[in-house]
Structure formats: C-alpha cells, structure tokens
Amino acid sequence: MLLRIRTVVAAAMLTVAAYATAVEMNGHPTTYVVQKGDTLWDISARFLKKPWLWPEIWQANPQVANPHLIYPGDVLSLAYLDRVVARQDAGPRQEAPITGIPLSQVEPFLKELSVVDRIDHLPYVAGLEDNRLRATSGQLAYVHGLDGAAVGQRYAVVRPTVRYALPKPSEDLDASGRTTPGSGNLWKDFTVPNKRPHQQLGYELAKVNVGTIMRLPSGKVDVATLALQGTGDGREVRVGDRLVPVEATPYDLQFFPHVPAPGTDGLDVRVLAVADMLLSGGARDVIALSAGSAQGVDNGTVFSLWRQGSHVKHVMKVPNSSQMDDSRVDGYNRLTMPDEYAAHAMVFRTFDNVSYALVMEGIKPVLVGYNARHPDATE
C-alpha cells in the first residue's frame, strides 16, 4: 500500500525546498525520457544529490506547463546547471498524465475530522430509537434543531472532541460538547510557553455516522427522524452528538507535496493533538497543527516537526540545587539543549486556523507541543 507513496514522497518528506542557489548533480544525462509511473519528485531523486529540489527541473523545462502533469515520453533537460536549457519536445499524449500522490494511497490513514468556530448552533441528537443509550447503522436517531431540512437530505453525525486554543492549553470535550474539567492541565504540560496573543482556534468534530432525514417535526413531534446508514469510524451515536451536512468531497483527489508559503515564515506552528492517541504518534498517524488557511497553509504543505530543546539543571555547577532537573523554560543555572528533529508531515486538510497532517517519515515519535518548521530546517 505504501510502496508508491514512499517512492514518490520520501524525498519530499525528508527535505523539500522551493528553490536553491546551487544544485549538485548526482551523475546525470543531459536529457531524460519520462517513463510510466515517473513524477518530478522521483526523477529528481534519481539524479540530484538533493532530490527534493524538483522545481529546479521544472524551471529548466519550459515545455512543462504544469509540474504535476508530465507524460510518458516527455523529454526533460537536465543540463540546467550550466544554464544550457534546450527546449525539448513534448512526448506523445497516449497515456494519462502523471500527477501527485493519489488520494487512494493515503486515504486509509486519514481521519474524518473537521474544525468549526463554534458548536452551540449545530443541531444535535436529542434521543434514540427505543430510548437506547447508543445507536448504530440501521437504527433511528431523533434530532432537534434541524431548521430548514428536507426529507431525504443526508447529514453526518459528528462528535465534538477538543477545543483548540493557544497559548491557553487545548481542552477535551465531554459527550455534550462541554469542556471536561481539569483536562487543560494535561495539555498544559506539553505546551511550550510563548508570547502569542490568546486565540481560540476552533472545535474539532469527529465523524461518527451518516444518516438520511426520514421525517420532519410536525404536530406534537418536536424532532426530526434520522435513519443511520453509515459505519463512521466504528463509534456508536449517542445523545449530544451534532449534525452537519455531508461533504461530497472532503479530501483532494491527489496531493502535491510542497514547501510552506512564504507568508508562513516565522509563524509559531505547534502540534495540537495526535488523532486517536493521547500525546504521541508516529508514521501514518494524523496530527492537528495550529495553523490553517488564514496563515497560508494549504493541502500538500510539508513541515518538519521538532522537539524543543529542554533547559536542564547545570548539575556540575550547582550539584546540590533543589530545582527540578528539566524545564520547558530557561532560567538561572540552567543549560539549554538543542532542538531535535522528529519527523516530516504533509497537510491533507485545512481549516481557518487548524490543519490536519499525515506524519510520513521520521526518526522518533511526534508529541503534542512539537514545533512545525520549514521542511529544510536544520535546527
């Protein structure tokens, strides 16, 4: 399943750069004929010492109008280091164009999560068939607040899980979408202090099921009847779950890994959560990041993820100090350790102030609170 994605994206996940002042070639011909299954990423991986610099090949080949659409038989120039860029003829258009990473290759690892600014206005499940505590596909749920709905309309049943905010810690939500008392204390221990102004980033919604409206409120009946039909993520529907319209295409059909937009430079982007985990995750896990479309992050953006260097007690200088050995902030008689690289991740779904990314390649687990940087960062 992952063979294709590893060959196409491995270089982009290890390091991605949009441009370079100089590129060293790794033993290359002057031209290359595109083969079936090639992309600019793995062509770069074959011939460049820094294979993720695929835009260099694209810029050296003006006949390639769209870097995500190259065809078997296209002839690419690899002589651009000397600025000898001979225009090459396009190959015969007898096969489908070569694109980025197809959705089918990453979809099994993605999570149906979304983020909204508020949840208090969303319609909610007020009761279940036979007064059950839980319901699943083939059963009925009774929904309050579905104003303007029509019989036959489909809705997704979603559950509020987390309220994201910075620098105030994120907080877990209970079944009714209310903040779980004390949950922020746990998140706080993994949030590196910073001076950014307080910002509520949004409420996470996890898809539980889907259903079709079978009956609207009428007469003495105050609720709409929803027939549950989907499997969701295996969780059962319960009172308090919310409803949102079904999205026809929640994900892009393919993803093109690229570096963050210039406007994201200097942003303090943090790992907010690891889906279905408590604090940490690894390859093919989904993470939430504290930046979205409002900050210039889009689908395909690649970040490197870093553990912030701790501030340890200077034991050789103050061996009898009673201060804690490790701290998240610097202080007197402390030594600052370097930041440590953990992994690379690609964004696959964006909202205003939060985005979701798939951890692709790494050397250690990713934890809540890690910093997201340009994929070419070295420290």
DSSP conformation class of 90: P
pLDDT above 50: residue 98: yes
d(CA 127, CA 336): 55
Pairwise CA distance, residues 106 & 102, whole Å: 7
Q: Is the torsion defined by CA of 322, 328, 329, 333 positive or negative?
A: positive
> In this predicted model, which residue has the larger pLDDT, 192 or 342?
342
* Amino acid making up residue 87: R
Residue of 105 and 31 predicted with greater confidence: 31
Cα gap 146→137, rounded to integer Å: 20
Mean pLDDT of the chain: 79
Q: Which amino acid is at 109?
A: F
Q: Kindly report whether the peptide bond that precedes residue 257 is cis, defined as omega within 30 degrees of 0.
A: no
- As beta bridge partners, residue 250 has none
Using the predicted structure, report yes or no on whether residue 114 has a pLDDT greater than 60. Answer: yes
86 pLDDT more than 50: no
Cβ contact 223:143 at 8 Å: yes
* pLDDT, average across residues 308-313: 80
DSSP string for residues in 2-35: -HHHHHHHHHHHH---S--S---BSS--SEEE--
How are beta strands 286-289 and 326-327 bridged, if at all? Answer: unpaired
Of the listed ranges 277-291, 316-330, 352-366, the one predicted with least confidence: 316-330
Q: pLDDT band at residue 204, thresholds of 50, 70 and 90?
A: very high
Contact indicator for 122, 157 with CB cutoff of 8 Å: no
Cα separation, 304 vs 271, whole angstroms: 11
Of residues 79 and 4, the one with the higher pLDDT is 79
pLDDT at 5: 39
Helices (H), 114-263: 183-188
Higher local confidence (pLDDT), 80 or 7: 80
User: Which domains does the chain possess?
Assistant: 3-99 (3.10.350.10), 113-245 (no CATH), 256-373 (no CATH)
Return the pLDDT at 179.
83
Distance of CA 21 to the CA centre of its chain: 30
